[in-house]
Amino acid sequence: MKNDELPVSDQETARQGWKQDPEGVRANILAVALQEFSRHGLSGARMDEIAAKTRTSKRMIYYYFGDKEGLYRFVLEEAYRDVRKGEEALSLDHLAPREAMTQLVQFTFDHHRLNPDFIRLVMIENIHHGEYLEHSEVIRNLNETAISRIEMIYQKGVAEGAFRAGLSSLVIHWQISALSFFNVSNKISFSLLFGDELFEKQGQIALRQYAAETVLRFVSKD
């Protein structure tokens, strides 16, 4: 039974839930939609299934997010917003440059490892040639803050003599993303070809440290 087909009393309960905790219900919709889009893609995900797994109705989802493409765009934006919020919460400004860069790399590695749905969503967006990323000013602005954060750490490191001059913050971001993304995006194929050793607990701890060391070696002056 779909939420739109609930008895009148249950429909009223769902409406009251939305009124009493609209942000909680919205977050619930986006979390469920993220799972569905990351597993089935934009074309394969079904609004009926998303609604059935949420605390509200399909009618309300359409009301707040528009059509399925609108919901997908909101999900994509929220996924990137989550990454940037996590980076901001690190409070790196007061740290020495090497420590700040290390924490940023390790956060990114951990975030991607713990959020495989985000990685799958980004892979799906690449299949769509970045159609929704291209038209989202929200995501562009969010990712500008990611580069700005790296630039702040990097320039502080250069000024203190810890980092070598002449590097691009965009390239540093690319390296951090590449090391963290591949760990999730290619986990299945890599495991089938070479075994699970790197994806067991100790292997992941080691890769996390190696990722930070790799970036630090790239930016360090000595």
In one-letter notation, the amino acid at residue 110 is: D
pLDDT(3) > 50: no
- Kindly state whether residues 106 and 40 are assigned to the same domain: no
- Kindly state whether residues 129 and 222 are assigned to the same domain: yes
Quote the pLDDT of residue 22: 78
Quote the pLDDT of residue 18: 55
- Kindly state whether residues 110 and 62 are assigned to the same domain: no
DSSP for 56-114, written as a single string: S-HHHHHHHH-SHHHHHHHHHHHHHHHHHHHHHHT--TTS-HHHHHHHHHHHHHHHHHH
Instruction: Give the pLDDT confidence of 55-95 residue by residue, as tens digits.
Output: 778 888 888 898 999 999 999 999 999 999 999 999 999 99
- Kindly state whether residues 35 and 11 are assigned to the same domain: yes
Top pLDDT among 100 and 11 is at 100
Quote the pLDDT of residue 9: 42
Domain that holds residue 21: 1-66
Q: What is the mean pLDDT of the chain?
A: 89
- Kindly state whether residues 78 and 57 are assigned to the same domain: no
Q: Which residues of 114-131 are buried (b: 16+ CB within 10 A; e: fewer)?
A: ebebbbbbbebbeeeeee
Q: How many angstroms separate the CA atoms of 203 and 186, rounded?
A: 15
Query: The CATH number of the domain where 84 resides is what?
Result: 1.10.357.10
- Kindly state whether residues 33 and 114 are assigned to the same domain: no
Q: How many angstroms separate the CA atoms of 121 and 139, rounded?
A: 14
Quote the pLDDT of residue 156: 97
What are the φ and ψ backbone dihedral angles of 163, each rounded to 5 degrees? -115, 150
- Kindly state whether residues 40 and 149 are assigned to the same domain: no
Kindly state the DSSP code that residue 197 receives in the 8-state scheme: G
- Kindly state whether residues 171 and 199 are assigned to the same domain: yes
How many structural domains comprise the chain?
2
- Kindly state whether residues 30 and 77 are assigned to the same domain: no
- Kindly state whether residues 179 and 161 are assigned to the same domain: yes
pLDDT(192) > 70: yes
- Kindly state whether residues 204 and 97 are assigned to the same domain: yes
- Kindly state whether residues 97 and 115 are assigned to the same domain: yes
Q: How many angstroms separate the CA atoms of 71 and 29, rounded?
A: 9
Q: How many angstroms separate the CA atoms of 150 and 81, rounded?
A: 17
Domain boundary among 66, 89, 122: 66
